[in-house]
């Protein structure tokens, strides 16, 4: 795929795995980070100059819904085998932050944010543990998260483990 970065207008030839869809575009993995590709510079990081989808090996997506009331994201993440491909989707209501840690990752034009926090609601869209730092130890008032596991042909089914709550 040829693409141009909206910020630096640099033309780059690349090949990225597609993770999902986002606002009339795609979410791709670029250097291990989820980035949005599409025609709107207000909603996407990268502008597709030309592209071609190449079919890869078939994947089986297994999803498990988790009610988050009374739990932290650290509890949820501790139940997931971090060596397996997974993504978190959903909304969780959490108390307002008590300091600058929660004000850093608001939606910006220069990055696609798999986790965005506004008005006490954390929205997850193909998020992973590494993107949840500021919110890991906040207890959810209510909400639900879907954990998607991506399995290659022949891989054993995966389930969430028991997990553990830890003090911050």
Decide if 168 is inside a domain: no
For the chain, what is the domain count? 2
Domain co-membership, 88 together with 108: yes
Q: What is the mean pLDDT of residues 63-87?
A: 93
Bridge partners of residue 108, in order along the sequence: 111
Residues 7 and 46 both lie in one domain: yes
Residues 6+ apart with CB under 8 A from 97: 103, 117, 134, 138
Q: Ramachandran region of residue 75, left (φ > 0), alpha (ψ -120 to 50) or beta?
A: alpha
Are both 44 and 67 inside the same structural domain? Answer: no
Task: Give the residue among 124, 136, 129 at the shortest CA–CA distance from 65.
Answer: 124
pTM listed for this prediction: 0.73
pLDDT at 64 over 60: yes
> What's the pLDDT tens digit per position in 21-61?
777 788 787 777 777 887 776 667 676 767 777 787 888 88
Residues 88 and 129 in one domain: yes
Identify the residue whose tokens are 């909304």: 91
């Amino acid at each position: 795929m040829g693409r141009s970065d909206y910020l630096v207008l640099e033309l780059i030839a690349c090949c990225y795995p597609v993770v999902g869809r986002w606002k009339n575009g795609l979410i791709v993995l670029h250097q291990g980070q989820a980035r949005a590709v599409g025609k709107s510079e207000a909603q996407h990081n990268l502008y597709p100059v030309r592209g071609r989808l190449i079919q890869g090996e078939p994947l089986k997506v297994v999803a498990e819904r988790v009610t988050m009331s009374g739990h932290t994201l650290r509890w949820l993440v501790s139940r997931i085998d971090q060596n397996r491909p997974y993504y978190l989707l959903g909304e969780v209501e959490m108390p307002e932050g008590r300091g600058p840690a929660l004000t850093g990752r608001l939606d910006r034009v220069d990055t696609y944010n798999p986790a965005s926090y506004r008005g006490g609601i954390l929205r997850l869209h193909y998020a992973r543990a590494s993107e949840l730092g500021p919110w890991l130890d906040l207890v959810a008032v209510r909400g639900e998260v879907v954990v998607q596991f991506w399995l290659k042909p022949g891989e054993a089914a995966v389930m969430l483990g028991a997990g553990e709550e830890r003090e911050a």
